[in-house]
């Protein structure tokens, strides 16, 4: 799968001067404070869709329905398949972890070209795209880095640099535009589509069969 040229560049971040705004979702009110304009091109290496597991999760308990999903992405040197194939990535409820058994791959990996992104939106189309982005997909997110407060008064602040680590190092992005610019073609996805085509074909044959009456005595 060819990589988009924009994946070679760092995320674009520029100052802005926006006042805080209140937004409503699920009949709840959130306060969003924009910090910086932001544009990110990256490859999804791990994800967690929060709207799929709100029940019993920390997001559900805190009524944080604005955070659609967390997308862990890489860009730049880290998109090199020769490096990525040696790593495994995973998302917790607020975190992204990565590991490898290859010392060579570890030394080649640039931790400043990975980010775990708490993505926020109330737009149905954008939320759908964010939820559908899969591992290996090349994506672009446009909006702004923002702090926000949930209905219970909890403030989540965004990172404003790619060089920090640990607690508070995640980017919180209010997403106004989200696109999947290329999709990874994997054997699993190929088999999924083949199975779907075969199912539709067999269903069509079944529907076209003449109806036969059966009588039971």
pLDDT at position 17, please?
Answer: 87
Query: Distance between CA atoms of 210 and 21, rounded to whole angstroms?
Result: 61
pLDDT at position 217, please?
Answer: 34
CB neighbours of 189 closer than 8 A, spacing ≥ 6?
A: 183
Helix, strand or coil for residue 34? strand
Q: C-alpha distances in angstroms, 174 versus 21, 117, 161?
A: 12, 10, 16
Query: Distance between CA atoms of 118 and 38, rounded to whole angstroms?
Result: 13
Phi-psi domain of 138 (left: phi exceeds 0; alpha: psi -120 through 50; beta: other)? beta
- Domain-wise residue ranges, the chain: 5-184
Q: Which two tokens stand for residue 40?
A: 């990110």
Residue numbers in the chain where pLDDT is lower than 50? 186-193, 195, 211-217
Give, as one character, the DSSP assignment of residue 136.
Answer: T
Q: Tokens 């799968």 appear where?
A: 1
pLDDT at position 54, please?
Answer: 59
Query: Distance between CA atoms of 8 and 168, rounded to whole angstroms?
Result: 25
pLDDT at position 179, please?
Answer: 95
Q: Are 66 and 59 in contact (CB under 8 A)?
A: no
Burial annotation 3-23 (CB, 10 A radius, 16+ → b, else e):
bbeebeeebebeeeeeeeeee
């Amino acid at each position: 799968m060819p990589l988009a040229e924009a994946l070679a560049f760092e995320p674009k971040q520029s100052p802005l001067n926006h006042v805080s705004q209140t937004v409503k979702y699920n009949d709840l009110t959130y306060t969003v404070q924009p910090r910086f304009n932001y544009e990110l091109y990256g490859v999804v290496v791990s994800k967690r869709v929060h709207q799929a597991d709100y029940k019993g999760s920390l997001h559900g308990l805190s009524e944080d329905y604005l955070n659609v999903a967390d997308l862990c992405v890489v860009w730049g040197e880290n998109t090199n398949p020769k490096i990525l194939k040696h790593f495994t990535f995973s998302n917790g409820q607020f975190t992204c972890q990565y590991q490898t058994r290859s010392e060579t791959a570890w030394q080649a990996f640039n931790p400043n070209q990975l980010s775990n992104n708490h993505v926020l939106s109330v737009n149905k189309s954008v939320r759908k795209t964010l939820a559908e982005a899969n591992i290996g997909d090349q994506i672009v997110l446009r909006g702004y880095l923002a702090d926000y407060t949930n209905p219970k008064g909890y403030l989540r602040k965004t990172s404003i640099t790619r060089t920090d680590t640990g607690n508070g190092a995640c980017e919180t992005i209010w997403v106004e535009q989200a696109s999947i610019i290329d999709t990874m073609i994997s054997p699993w996805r190929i088999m999924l589509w083949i199975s779907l085509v075969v199912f539709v074909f067999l269903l069509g044959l079944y529907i076209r069969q003449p109806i036969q009456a059966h009588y039971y005595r």
